[in-house]
Homo-oligomer: A and B are copies of this chain.
Amino acid sequence: MNKSLTASVSPALVSYKGSSKIFTLTSSEHNIEVGSWKIDSTQLGILDTYFIVEQKVLHGGKQEGSKIIVITSPNGLTITLSPTRGMSIINVTGKEMRFGWDSPVKEIVNPAFINLESRNGAGWLEGFNEMVVRCGFEWAGHPGVENGEMRTLHGKAGNTPASEVEIEINEEAPYEIKVRGLIKESTFKKADLRTVAELIYIPDTHHFTIHDQLTNHADYPRDYQIMYHSNFSKPLLEKDTQFIAPIKEISPFNDYAKSGLKNYSTYLGPTKDFDEMVFNIVPYTTADGSTVAALHNKDGSKGAAIEFNINELPFLTLWKNTDTEKQGYVTGIEPGTNYAYAAPIEREQNRIRQINAGETVHFKVKYSALMNKQAVDTVKKIIADIQGKQETTFIETPIAKE
């Protein structure tokens, strides 16, 4: 038996909040690192459903020392996230369902081995394989130089190990599970943005929610950007998969995407030399700002829905990377505070937000696995209702040139 297989499971620090038990797995403040850890519902005296939550320490290559947390709900979803990689969601699976994709990057890369500045600011691509990666918060988008400093591709959050990690399990039905990590982007003279990045999941269900709280701990207002880069591939993505959303305005990201604008809603199968087409979208919403974007396979028998609110995340980027499977056959649906242009463009076009000193801003994104035709149809109807008779404006010319 090798070391990783025999490693004893360490007990976590336990505390209580109402009817919830909180297990602290990592704390830089209290100098805690639990390492391998596992609990299942029976150990909590829960008998009317079954789930497991565990942390594993990974080994080999560039994932040496990375950690993953896996929530397993046999009748619902299995959700894998990585505290070492900024609480990114690596993968989500269910019965004949999967959120996520197959990147040529197979390992859960420890940020110690990543140089974000490499490849002219695109070093992020050496670790990119997540289902949801937070592009932010000090900056996001394509690499670009501002004030002499390289704003590396999609920022640092996804390559920042969480400083505090805890699992909160409600011991009363429906046994809500929260996995929380604190992501610090703290640099003397520059920024002190700290994000409590939370995943919320109820066992046996087919949906989960991200709830992030970004606080500016500095005494000055600071820029921030965030895009929830949410990625899907097979079995949801195939030839003639449909992207649906209530769309007020859509434009091609660049000249290459112009030719795909008309058919933005339909996907190709794996297509050699396709590379990627990106579209900028302003969604329509309900009166309170809520909206939904979704994806369903060709026959409408399964899909994914992403709910968000434009008061928090006003823009939506659609990333269609329907290249070959080994190259990464994947689409990203990315609600954000901005589009993916480099920082100087986003600034010029006023999409870089500021957070005041001491202020906290919230972001909620709900992901639903649409397990059957009925679920898909329900979401289609919601989207159609939001769109109503409102028209979609097609802007033919890219709004910016990188």
Q: Which residues of A contact B (CB under 8 A)?
A: 1-5, 10-13, 24, 26-29, 31-35, 56, 58-65, 103-107, 110-113, 115-120, 122, 125-126, 128-129, 148-150, 152, 160-165, 182, 184, 186-190, 192, 217-220, 272, 323-328, 357
A188 in contact with B119 (CB, 8 Å): no
B150 in contact with A118 (CB, 8 Å): yes
Min CB distance, A195 to chain B, in Å?
12
How many chain copies does the complex carry? 3
Q: A27-B59, A28-B106 are in contact. List 20 more A-B contacts (CB 8 A).
A: A2-B10, A2-B13, A3-B32, A3-B33, A4-B33, A28-B60, A29-B106, A31-B56, A33-B60, A33-B64, A62-B160, A104-B192, A105-B186, A106-B184, A107-B163, A110-B112, A112-B112, A116-B118, A219-B326, A326-B357
Min CB distance, A91 to chain B, in Å?
15
A324 in contact with B33 (CB, 8 Å): no
Q: Considering the chains assembled together, what is the distance between the CA atoms of A217 and B328 in angstroms?
A: 12
Q: What residues of B have a CB within 8 angstroms of the CB of A187 in the complex?
A: 104-105, 119, 125-126
Q: What residues of B have a CB within 8 angstroms of the CB of A189 in the complex?
A: 125, 327-328
Chain B CB within 10 Å, residue with most, of A116, A119, A189: A189
Q: Considering the chains assembled together, what is the distance between the CA atoms of A190 and B128 in angstroms?
A: 12
B326 in contact with A218 (CB, 8 Å): yes
B106 in contact with A218 (CB, 8 Å): no
B3 in contact with A31 (CB, 8 Å): no
Given contacts A217-B326, A220-B327, A327-B220, contact A60 B164 (CB under 8 A): yes
Given contacts A128-B188, A149-B120, contact A34 B3 (CB under 8 A): yes
A3 in contact with B35 (CB, 8 Å): yes
